[in-house]
Structure 1
Amino acid sequence: MENVLAFVIIFGSLVFFHELGHFLLAKRAGIMVREFAIGFGPKIIGITKGETIYTIRLLPLGGYVRMAGEDFDTVEIQPGHRVGLVIGKTGKVEKIYLNRNVSNPDVLFLETEEADLEKELFIEGYDDEGQHVRYDVSRKTVVVEKGQETLIAPYDRQFESKPLGSRAMTIFAGPFFNFILAFFIFLAIGLLQGVPTNEPIISSVDSGTPAQVAGMKKGDYIKEVNGKPVTTWTEFSEVIQDSPGIPLQFKVDRNGESVSMVIKPATIKQDGREFGQIGVRYSSPVEKGPLKAVVYGAEQTIFWFKKIFELLGMLVTGKFTIDALSGPVGIYKATEEVAQYGIYNLMNWAAILSINLGIMNLLPLPALDGGRLLFFLFEGVRGKPIDKQKEGMVHFVGIMLLMVLMLVVTWNDIQRFFF
């Protein structure tokens, strides 16, 4: 149960901050946000505040911010349609009933001749006495259909009405907030646990490993690998991991004495990749301080940003196969394992996942934020937007392909962990 709770909190937090980025930038640009949702599928909880409904939905596999004008959610009243109007004290329409059967005595019925609920904000037609009337429509008019109320969205409150830069920033803000979240998680780790000095000092050597056979000992300070200076444990471990089966020349400082040795890293296969390993462990002392924590947060965010991009490059070049990818099941199992090593390891894992989510969403693929940004780029080059129906079709195909990929990855996870 604790593992499930940890997964829900971590994944929910990543999705929340991603959607919060879209939400805040949309609000800043003056875009009406109809819904802020965590999860997909049937609604579990919904709270309306202002013009936005905040919902938690059944399937915790993502979330969305539904902005006015994005999904053809504008209300259109066709000529000849009989509607009921509630006129406010200012003389403007405040509520429009699309149902014919309305038992409200304050409702005036109108056979519509023309209506514009986006730009000019008016409705005109013939009342029950046959007189031609015209009413201005309030910017906060509510349309009621089958008991469901929808606030109209004047064109200047719709996503498409905003300048290209504002729309692009609204979409980019989601992934960007994931990077910000990762930075603050690493910052919190630095403040609470302290910042590792990251010095390349061996804390222990496992028996029977290449390092032990070559004569490496506890307390050795790594100075050079293959003639290149080493200043951090990160540099040292990366060289080892990138050199499976390749003999390396080490120079270490042992109690003030320079010692040389040659070690051939063992080859470890994991998730379709090969890594080098020599059998040493690291336990770095830590330093505390706000400034050190800030630097640590920035360094770790940049480091993992680069590392995930490297893995993506390996996927493109074929060095990293689709079988090694993980979906929700794989992420859950990894979270379960990490949780056993304490809260700081779990926080570190959450930060890495947040960076990964941000990068994945920036990939220029249909249905992802990166795909939408690509269409904005085309719009900027062409000087006019792509036809909405064509763009919508591309995104629809992209969603279908992503669903197929998700099913394949999830099936691989199930086979890997349960069979």
Structure 2
Amino acid sequence: MEMVEIVLLTVLVFFVIVSIHEWGHFYFAKRAGILVREFAIGFGPKLFSVQRGETRYTLRLIPAGGFVRMAGEDPETVEIQPGQTIAVRLVNDRVTRLYLDRLDERSNVIRGEVESVDLERSLKLALHVEGERERYDVHPAAIMIARGRETQIAPIDRQFGSKTVGQRALAIFAGPLMNFILAFALFMVYIQMAGVPMENPDRILVGSFVDDKESPAAKAGLKVGDEIRTINGQNIGVDVDKMLALIGSSGGKQMEWTVIRDGKPVNISITPVPDGENVGKVGIYPAYPSRAATFTETFAFGAKAMKNMTINIFEGFKMLILGQFELDDLGGPVKTAQVTSQIAAQGIEQLTSWTAVLSLYLGIFNLLPIPALDGSRLIFLGVEAVRGRPVDPNRESMVHFIGFAMLMLLMLAVTYNDILNLIQG
């Protein structure tokens, strides 16, 4: 597989699993009537930004996740205070735009000093205009313009905090839920692509390579799908153990293979590379002939894969909590991208399975009770449901801010280690 194609597939994998997660938040927030200000992929400085309807869609520099910014989750950055001079534009006797600066440059507007303003509940604005007191209704989707930036107002019924606990919980849980659905779907797609082993196989095939370019088998000219007929004159049949024993005992020694390709025998010379224990390796994954999976088998495989990978992921978390790891065991975006590119080189089937694993991991990780993650936010909602009133928003915001800062520090540490390992080979 060409390098450019591998890079594009690697980027696509990250884009898909993050986008589907954030789309879950976005979709259910919109269904609840929440104003979604921004749908972002990545963190940090903006690389690309476009406004569509009420929402700004952005692509940011650091590919370590994404976010959906909902009105009311954070303090609004633009406020209007009594005594402030502003300019407003009316459409059908309702304020549709409020200008907070550069007032002399605004045309077709009314200028005045703010006497009172409520942009959340009553949507009323009172101005002193040329010595007269004027009262205006404000459009629920009015835009405030300040420092060259437009911000849509958020009436109380469009804010995150105004919705029921159930609606808010669903908007938060929907992100991981979409990752679980994607993982399950991709596991089923994988088994449809790879098939299931035949009940009574009559031959062994070259399933895939450990490394498409560096494995001895690939260098010697072996190809995926070749039927392994004989090794050093010995018939292999369906005996994988015999094949592995012959390869393992021939480290550094040339072997003569006969494979069947397109119905014709092909002779290939391969020299296994000895590993640290002097066991020969040729760098292939053997496989049996397969058949198409039935619908029942496809569904069962998806469920089994979800179960097994979930167990493996939690085993990894357990080792992390117990401190049974070294820094090199952890991987950030760089290492994950490196592994993804290696798997992409093995073919679309393996990449599909790996994408399912990453999506499942992202969903589970986000549900952990770590501040700034979805799991922590769900805990705060659970506390609110039990108490009958929300936790102080300032305290909750502080908890999430500290958690996010700690996650970023950890991300920087593992990314630095990933880059160092990459440079050192």
Q: 1:10 — aligned with what? A: 13
Q: Secondary structure at the match of 2:361?
A: helix
Q: Secondary structure at the match of 2:346?
A: coil
CA offset digits 1:316-370 (Å, max 9, x no partner):
2333444311111111221122122111001111110111111111110011111
Q: 1:132 — aligned with what? A: 133
Q: Identify the match of residue 77 of structure 1 among 73, 77, 80.
A: 80
* Maintained 8 Å contact 1:38/1:56: yes
Q: 1:113 to 1:377 in 2, by over 3 A?
A: same
Distance 2:401 2:56 in 1: 25
CA-CA distance at 1:28 after TM superposition? 1.0
The one-letter amino acid paired with 1:56 is L
Distance 1:117 1:197 in 2: 67
Q: 1:88 to 1:77 in 2, by over 3 A?
A: same
Distance 2:292 2:347 in 1: 20
The one-letter amino acid paired with 2:379 is L
Moved more, 350-359 or 138-147: 138-147
Distance 1:303 1:283 in 2: 22
Q: 1:350 — aligned with what? A: 355
Distance 2:360 2:7 in 1: 21
Q: Identify the match of residue 378 of structure 1 among 379, 383, 408.
A: 383
Report the count of equivalent residues. Answer: 351
CA offset digits 1:176-228 (Å, max 9, x no partner):
11111111111222333324579999969xxxxxxxxxxxx975799xxxxxx
CA-CA distance at 1:289 after TM superposition? 3.0
Q: How does 1:93-172 map to 2 (within 5 A)?
A: 93-128=95-130, 130-172=131-173
Distance 1:51 1:196 in 2: 51
Residue ranges of structure 1 left out of the alignment (5+ in a row)? 205-216, 223-267, 270-278
Is residue 2:359 matched to residue 1:359? no
Q: 1:334 — aligned with what? A: 339
Q: How does 1:177-326 map to 2 (within 5 A)?
A: 177-196=178-197, 219=238, 283=288, 285-326=290-331
Q: Secondary structure at the match of 2:137?
A: strand
Percent identity of equivalent pairs: 46
Distance 1:102 1:184 in 2: 57
CA offset digits 1:77-130 (Å, max 9, x no partner):
1110111111111x21111111152434421112111100011100113111x1
Q: Identify the match of residue 62 of structure 1 among 38, 62, 65.
A: 65
CA-CA distance at 1:412 after TM superposition? 2.6
CA offset digits 1:250-306 (Å, max 9, x no partner):
xxxxxxxxxxxxxxxxxx99xxxxxxxxx9965463433334323322322222122
Distance 1:406 1:164 in 2: 31
Q: Secondary structure at the match of 1:288?
A: coil
Length-normalised TM-score, structure 2: 0.76
Q: Secondary structure at the match of 2:96?
A: strand
Residue ranges of structure 2 left out of the alignment (5+ in a row)? 206-235, 242-275, 278-283
Distance 2:35 2:199 in 1: 48
* Maintained 8 Å contact 1:76/1:117: no
Q: 1:41 to 1:62 in 2, by over 3 A?
A: same
Q: 1:42 — aligned with what? A: 45
* Maintained 8 Å contact 2:201/2:238: no
Q: 1:363 to 1:138 in 2, by over 3 A?
A: same
Q: Secondary structure at the match of 2:396?
A: helix
Q: 2:35 — aligned with what? A: 32
Length-normalised TM-score, structure 1: 0.77
Q: 2:256 — aligned with what? A: none
* Maintained 8 Å contact 2:197/2:289: yes
Distance 1:359 1:136 in 2: 46
Q: Secondary structure at the match of 2:179?
A: helix
* Maintained 8 Å contact 2:204/2:240: no
Distance 2:142 2:390 in 1: 29
* Maintained 8 Å contact 2:87/2:103: no
* Maintained 8 Å contact 2:20/2:179: yes
Q: 1:198 to 1:97 in 2, by over 3 A?
A: farther
Q: 1:207 — aligned with what? A: none
Distance 1:93 1:101 in 2: 16
CA offset digits 1:142-181 (Å, max 9, x no partner):
1111232111111100111111111111111111111111
Distance 1:406 1:85 in 2: 45
* Maintained 8 Å contact 1:327/1:406: yes
Q: 1:208 — aligned with what? A: none
Q: Secondary structure at the match of 1:31?
A: coil
Q: 2:22 — aligned with what? A: 19
* Maintained 8 Å contact 1:197/1:287: no
The one-letter amino acid paired with 1:61 is A
Distance 1:415 1:201 in 2: 47
Distance 2:137 2:408 in 1: 45
